[in-house]
Structure 1
Amino acid sequence: MPTAAIVAQLAAQGFAFVEGTTMQRWLRQAGALADWPAFEASWADLAMDEYMADGGRDRRRRHAVFSIARDGRITREADQPHWQSLHYNPLNGGVARWFAPVADALAGGDSLTTILRWCHAHFGAWAPDVQRWRVEVHQFRIEAVPGRPGRPTPEGMHRDGVDYVLVLMIRRTNIAEGTTTIHALDRTPLGSFTLAEPFDAALVDDARVYHGVTAVEPVDPSLPAFRDVLVVTFRAERAMSGEE
């Protein structure tokens, strides 16, 4: 379970960093991670993000939508587009973006189910009146080559237009930089940290802070370089509207 310090930081500042060893222990308390090797390996089979308005070719991804009831029942919804307004995503917003779906075996597997169960237990505890959550799962790989840094957040410092966000590090290979920065709504810097090890995690109260990640570069320019993360967003169905 989250320590008092983590809960206090999230409540006070709207974000928290959790070290990988701690996050992995919390996840194992919530369920099994038996398929983790296959889950991690699936990042090698992501599809190119074809919607980059700036022409970027450094991002691969897969996407899935779930709903989670108050009692914890998890349902995978039909494949559907990811949509953000230009208010939240000035680079790629305002377009219904259809991404390759998360593979069925992974969507119903131990690791993702455990991650969703953990998120629901904690995000649900912070918002106990929510009857049902809309949950989006994004697998991201950011690739970097010499002379072309990879940009984990090409839209810059931003909010996602949801209630809560989990960013979970899966793997970094031959990557330098990639610092997560957090700002208050008035753009005052609140903190920074680097998701460097597997299971390192960021928890974000999206209504209260902006977040972004600096560009990544290869350590050895002769070798492949990439940053793999899982992003899980929770949005209360009561909060959804066509205005955002």
Structure 2
Amino acid sequence: MSTSLIFAATPTAWSDTVSSKDRHRTGLLPESLVSRLASSYADLPRDPHMRSGDDYRYRAFAQGSVINGRIEWESEATFEQAADINAYAGGQKRSFAPIRSDVLRDVVEVVDHLREDVIGVESDALIGAHQIRVIAGDGVTGLPAPEGVHQDGFDIVATCVIGLTNVSGGVTTLTTDAAGQHVVAQESLGAREYAAFDDRALFHYVSPVNALVPGQTHRDVLVLTFTLI
């Protein structure tokens, strides 16, 4: 599947002159776009690579590349991170349910919205798109980041909150160290809000999700990763 998307012919968002603590952005996605995306999360299948008993995460995935200003989505894709990057599920090839083609059209719009403020590259890039729902309630605590404070192994990561239902927690923290001691940003992102950051310079973590009041609880996000090539 190929979708037209022209990237801004500007330098990367974080040049060598920008300090580590300033290598992040926050913003707001259009309401109509988020509304369309939100309707697709109820159908996400359980993440098959969660450990026994960890039944709180649902997921779909797509991978592609920017070639001459166009996104080319791969028909089949696997996701792999080194064990030293992801202590929870690294060191294995992970296959997920594919993101639906109609949803991918909306994902392209999200990238289009982010590109001038965050991506801003002339060069080609490898792109990963992750639809993730974390549920909680009825004695279940959802962990958006079961691996703890970490990096994902990409140049740029953008976490876009698509929907929140009855959520307590889910606070995003950016730090300059793996121990999480030197915090440069900490925010409870609301629906439509995104945080994008330099994954080579910063570490990130999202606190556990619990039910605000008894009842159904879920946190829906779209995570986009970019490796510049």
Please tell me the TM-score bracket, short chain as reference. 0.7 to 0.9
1:77 is matched with which residue?
Answer: 74
Matched, 1:207 2:204: no
Within the candidate set 4, 26, 48, 1:18 is matched to: 26
Cα distance change on mapping 1:18 and 1:105 into 2, 3 Å = same
Within the candidate set 93, 97, 101, 1:100 is matched to: 97
Maintained 8 Å contact 2:178/2:203: no
The gaps in structure 2 that reach 5 residues or longer are: 1-7
TM-score by length of 2: 0.84
| Residue 14 (structure 1) shift | 4.7
Structure showing the higher strand proportion among its residues: 2
Distance 2:176 2:109 in 1: 31
| Aligned residue type for 1:24 | P
2:131 is matched with which residue?
Answer: 139
The gaps in structure 1 that reach 5 residues or longer are: 26-32, 238-244
Instruction: State the Cα deviation string for residues 142-201 of structure 1 (Å, max 9, x = none).
Output: 0001322111001111100000011111010011111111110364222211112x2111
Within the candidate set 230, 236, 244, 2:222 is matched to: 230
Instruction: State the Cα deviation string for residues 76-129 of structure 1 (Å, max 9, x = none).
Output: 11221111011110110011110000001111x2x222112234444543x54x
Q: How many pairs align? A: 214
| Residue 53 (structure 1) shift | 3.2
Within the candidate set 173, 183, 206, 1:189 is matched to: 183
1:155 is matched with which residue?
Answer: 147
Secondary structure of the corresponding residue to residue 39 of structure 2: helix
Structure showing the higher helix proportion among its residues: 1
Cα distance change on mapping 1:45 and 1:14 into 2, 3 Å = farther
1:114 is matched with which residue?
Answer: 109
Q: Where in structure 2 are the equivalents of 1:17-36 lying within 5 Å?
A: 17-20=25-28, 23-24=29-30, 36=34
Instruction: State the Cα deviation string for residues 216-236 of structure 1 (Å, max 9, x = none).
Output: 110121x21000000000012
Matched, 1:172 2:155: no
Secondary structure of the corresponding residue to residue 30 of structure 2: helix
Within the candidate set 57, 60, 63, 2:61 is matched to: 63
Distance 2:35 2:178 in 1: 41
2:38 is matched with which residue?
Answer: 40
TM-score by length of 1: 0.79
Secondary structure of the corresponding residue to residue 114 of structure 1: helix
Within the candidate set 199, 202, 211, 1:218 is matched to: 211
Maintained 8 Å contact 2:24/2:198: no
Secondary structure of the corresponding residue to residue 44 of structure 1: helix
Distance 1:99 1:52 in 2: 11
| Aligned residue type for 1:61 | R
Cα distance change on mapping 1:215 and 1:186 into 2, 3 Å = closer
Distance 1:211 1:42 in 2: 26
Maintained 8 Å contact 2:82/2:91: yes
| Aligned residue type for 2:70 | R
| Residue 54 (structure 1) shift | 5.5
